[in-house]
Structure 1
Amino acid sequence: MKSSFRILFLVLGIIALMREAFFGLPIIGDLYVLSTAWAPIGTSLIIYGLMIAAMLADQYGRSKELLWVPIVGIVFSLISFVPIVAMILHWVMTFIMIYFIIRVMSFPKQVGNTHVYYGGDTDKTVNRRYE
């Protein structure tokens, strides 16, 4: 995975993680969402839509393995109009976003067009492309 896509996925993932963790708080998250007339649901849809667009644009990376994460986020956002159900869905999505961030951090770095470097060791290179 190229570093620009890794940074983009990490930034979007951390933003989504913080949002899901805040909205999962039992009273505070519910009051915030209700006071803004469910506007955070729309911004969550935008964040997950950006994640899908970036994953489809990453032609050399392995990010398509995680395409299910923003799709689940969109489905959960659409279901989360009911306050009690929404709290549980936000808890589940918080753990899914933690998994997403860990997986993005574990993808190998891709330098140039064909070399993939694993970790900090420069002697362990694999001369192939991920497609």
Structure 2
Amino acid sequence: MKSSFRIVFLVLGIIALMREAFFGLPVIGGSYVLSLAWAPLGTSILIYGIMLAVMLADRYGRSKELLWVPLIGMVFSIIAVVPFVAMVLHWVMTLILIYFIIRVMTLPNQVGNTHVYYGGDTDKTVNRRQY
């Protein structure tokens, strides 16, 4: 994973983690979401959608193994319109986002080009780094 993708995933993951932790508070989070007529759940879907789009744009493919996290986040945000179920879903999503942030930090870093090109022949390519 390139460091720019890592930074984007960490920033989006931390923002989503703070939101999910706040929404999971029994009285405070629920009253906040209800007072804004479930609009925070729409912005959560937007954040997970951006996360999903960035994951699909990662051409090295290391982040695609975590593709399930924003998909589950979108589904949970849709189901979270039910008040008491929402609290449990926000707790579960908080734990999933903690795993996501730890996993993003431990993915191998992609630095520069991993192939050596000899001359003008594109057939003679040697892979220097094996993952």
- TM bin, normalised by shorter chain, reads 0.7 to 0.9
* 1:89 is aligned to 2:95: no
After TM superposition, give the deviation of residue 103 of structure 1 in Å.
0.3
The separation in 2 between residues aligned to 1:42 and 1:84, in whole angstroms, is 18
After TM superposition, give the deviation of residue 129 of structure 1 in Å.
6.8
Equivalent pairs, count: 120
Give 1 or 2 for the bigger CA radius of gyration.
2
Q: Secondary structure at the match of 1:113?
A: coil
- State TM-score, norm by structure 1: 0.88
Matches within 5 A, 1:1-131: 1-114=1-114, 127-128=128-129
Shift >4 Å, 4+ stretches: none
Structure 2 gaps of 5+ residues are 116-126
Structure 1 gaps of 5+ residues are 116-125
The separation in 1 between residues aligned to 2:90 and 2:59, in whole angstroms, is 30
The separation in 2 between residues aligned to 1:51 and 1:14, in whole angstroms, is 12
1:123: which partner in 2?
Answer: none
